[in-house]
Structure 1
Amino acid sequence: MTFRASFAADPHAHGGREFAPAKTGTSTSPSMPAERRGPRSEFQRDRDRIIHSMSFRRLKSKTQVFIAPDGDHYRTRLTHTIEVAQIGRVLARAIGVDEDLTEALCLAHDLGHPPFGHAGEDALSEAMEAHGGFDHNAQTLRTVMRLESPYPTHEGLNLTWDLLEGLAKHNGPITNPNWALRELDEAFPLNFATWPSIEAQIAAIADDIAYDNHDIDDGLRAGFLTLDDLMELDFLASQWRVVEKRFPHAPQDRLLRELVRDQIGLMVNDVLEHTAASTKGFETVSQIREAGRQLAGFSPDMAAQERTLKTFMYEKLYYHPEQVSAAQNAREVVARLFTAYSQDPRQMPPEWQERLPKAEPQRSRMIADFIAGMSDRFAMQSCAKIYGEVPEGLINV
């Protein structure tokens, strides 16, 4: 099965539309032709620019499930991102679409997450309520198109249209874009009304597969989940019996890790089979974008199981009392930082003070940009520097 010739995204073919700024693949410096930096495709350059970005490096100290974990073996936003990219590459290669574009989308998908994950996002959303709100997906686009600008001649990382479009709407068409997406779309139209490429759809489902299963692994390690908890779900109990039968003498901790691996494999194979059936008869990227529905994803049966698993994880792990308490303390840190910088911008670094607009809503939006870029630990250090303390109970593993 291969669709590479028909589905491989073409960065120069966007329905007859021409977009600026300069396309990736052109020289970023008159004295440094593109080929001097290696024989790479445009999507390979996208991937490399993301990997070399500061916002990508900061993911190493941002929350995945547990806030600022002391343990070395818990996942952070960075390790989660790498795992998503691995699953995305496997899916893209097997389906026959552009593996480099898929990998780049996976690597960039969480760049807009603020410190403390969804707890930090909730705090920024509340602080920004009067100024258009805050959304981590829109912040990802804002990060790569505006905030991180290492090149002399243009804003952002100078990524391809296909990558930006995929980041914007990997979960489907956008019918009511927020202020950040509207602002970016006005400068660089991303066709919000259509479905994204197969590569973007793969990146979205790879994210689900990764965190559905790896969060189980981390929850077990932290003691917030037990084998008895997992056995409440019939499909996990059934798979556990298969694992026990296959390795009757292996210790339980190894069997649990095998269970997680098996679940990833089952989901991956389901996506491959369902996507092959869904895309039958499609021959062009335009047809994918105009399909009117998601084409790469779970079968109905697996989608139902996955929804059940998510409900279970919220009940047992994400809303665990210790997690709820830590999240509340994290929200307080972000809220206090926003208040402090709003009242006295001199608390911000000089380069941010110099660029801070005087008028709203631009002023508050830039303060949110600064906070969103923080790692968990830098946010805690900044809060302690201003207030002399941080709430207790932020680190719960």
Structure 2
Amino acid sequence: MTRAAYAADPHAPSERGFGGREFDGGGSIEGSTERRGPRTAFQRDRDRIIHSMSFRRLKAKTQVFIAPDGDHYRTRLTHSLEVAQIGRVLARALGLDEDLTEALCLAHDLGHPPFGHAGENALSEAMAMFGGFCHNAQALRTVMRLESPYPLHDGLNLTWDLLEGLAKHNGPVEAPNWALAGLDAAFPLDLGTWPSLEAQIAAISDDIAYDNHDIDDGLRAGFLDLDDLLEMDFLSDQWRMVEKRFPSAPKDRLLRELVRGQIGLMVNDVLEHTRREVKGMTSVDNVRAAGRQLASFSPEMAAHERELKAFMYDKLYFHPEQVAAAAKARDAVARLFAAYSQDARLMPAEWRERLPEEQPARARCIADFIAGMSDRFAMNQCAEIYGEVPNGLTNV
């Protein structure tokens, strides 16, 4: 898969505004002249992501709480859908490519292993001698190498714009790890430059979503206290406004209105600030030449958001119960990696058959297998191999 191959495509991209590129309808069935609907290439990107097994597995991967028993807590799947909703709103209001933005939002967490950042930390430690592990790079590896439903090629055959935005939606990558470096060598993604506004919108939408929805989940779980939240002046101001507007509403509805209102404030702030930043720009080349993030919070809102993040790390992400569950999750992933490294017969046949003999390829294949697991599957694998699932993995 090379950029030249895309350039030879009859539906090759042409520059379009900030977005990257505009495409004619396409979607032909490979090896035939039949078409699968009048979709643009970015719409095909989105659809291929949604129909992938990796996307479906997000329904059982940790967002904040590991394998929660409650039905109403976010998972990586519901989080990704909420990010996509916010991203579409921002893209539409700014006149960007809504389909590209949505596809980026839906794909941004595909590389997360089971148990969220706890699982990632365990894989990073296990892979330290073999090039390390990074969930952002793993997302690219997933859509370009591992998720391969098509007869004639590996990967989902996504557009350059989607892959480039996914690689660096958080900004330029100056020192890519082995996974991203290898993919970039095969299909150059201009890692040292800023991405399109669509990719920047996907990143800020991620922040808006988890900043606010994690509050909702933390309050529901009893890990956060409203009085502690209201010690932050900007949240206290919003809470007083909510109480004034709805004096007779039950508290649980007021809390949801607070979260909803915060999302609206952040979205409007991003729109106002980004419009100022891009004033006079007419193409994606202008965006790249700016050499900085353009789609972002205003300085005032950014300060509020940093305060909120610090609060969430202190009160929720590093809550003693969360820390204890994360330690057990890291141990579970580390034990799985050790077990498969010592006895490949423990892996399913389709993975065992393609397991390389030499290092580091062998370790990287094992990491690919573990990274694709859902929380529940990883727990079941622990039970099959070790006879038990570590107690305390689920704390809500």
2:18 aligned partner: 7
Task: Map 1:145-164 onto structure 2 (within 5 A).
Answer: 145-164=144-163
Q: 1:26 Cα shift? A: 6.2
Q: Secondary structure at the match of 2:326?
A: helix
In 2, Cα distance between equivalents of 1:26 and 1:289 = 29
Change (3 A) 1:194 1:388: same
Q: CA deviation at 1:270?
A: 0.1
Pair 1:268 & 2:228 matched:
no
Instruction: Give the match for residue 319 of structure 1.
Output: 318
User: Could you tell me how far apart the structure 1 residues matched to 2:166 and 2:342 are?
Assistant: 34
Q: 1:250-273: per-residue Cα shift (whole Å, max 9, x none)?
A: 111111110000000000000000
Question: What TM-score, normalized by structure 1, do the two folds share?
Answer: 0.94
In structure 2, stretches of 5+ residues that fail to align are 1-14
Tell whether 2:64 aligns with 1:53: no
Match of 2:79 in 1: 80
Paired letter, 1:10? R
Structure 1 runs (4+) deviating above 2 angstroms are 23-28
Residue 27 of structure 1, CA deviation: 3.7
Separation in structure 1 between the aligned mates of residue 352 and residue 278 of structure 2, nearest angstrom: 51
Residue matched to 2:307:
308
- The residue that corresponds to 1:29 in the other structure is 30
- Alpha-carbon distance in 1 for matches of 2:38, 2:271: 31
- RMSD in angstroms over aligned alpha carbons? 1.4
Counterparts of 1:106 and 1:142 in 2: how far apart (Å)?
Answer: 17
Instruction: Give 1:346 deviation, angstroms.
Output: 0.4
Alignment partners' CA distance in 2, 1:324 and 1:245 = 38
**How many pairs align?**
382
1:41 partnered with 2:52: no
8 Å CA contact 1:81–1:106 kept in 2: the answer is yes
Structure 2 residue 333 is matched with structure 1 residue 334: yes
**Which residue identity is paired with 2:30?**
S
- Alignment partners' CA distance in 1, 2:325 and 2:111: 21
Instruction: Say yes or no: does 1:250 pair with 2:249.
Output: yes
SS in 2 for 1:63: coil
**Letter in structure 2 aligned against 1:51:** I
Identity %: 76
Distance 2:192 2:316 in 1: 35
Q: For 2:285 and 2:25, how far apart are their aligned partners in 1?
A: 21
Partner Cα distance (1:25, 1:111) in 2 = 25
What residue is the counterpart of 1:203 in the other structure? Answer: 202
What amino acid maps onto 2:271 in structure 1?
Answer: L
Deviations 1:127-147 (A, max 9, x none): 000001000000000000000
* Structure 1 gap ranges (5+): 13-22
Distance 1:185 1:64 in 2: 28
Once the two structures are superposed, residues 34-71 of structure 1 have per-residue CA deviations (whole angstroms, 9 ceiling, x without a partner) of xx211100000000000000000000000000000000
Tell me what 2:356 maps to.
Answer: 357
Paired letter, 1:329: K
* TM-score for the superposition, normalised by structure 2: 0.95
CA contact (8 A) 1:102 1:199 kept: yes
1:70 aligns with 2:69: yes
Q: Which one-letter code corresponds to 1:332 in the other structure?
A: D
Partners of 2:75 and 2:206 in 1: CA distance: 14
**Counterpart for residue 371 of structure 2:** 372
- In structure 2, C-alpha distance between the alignment counterparts of 1:6 and 1:126, rounded to whole Å: 43
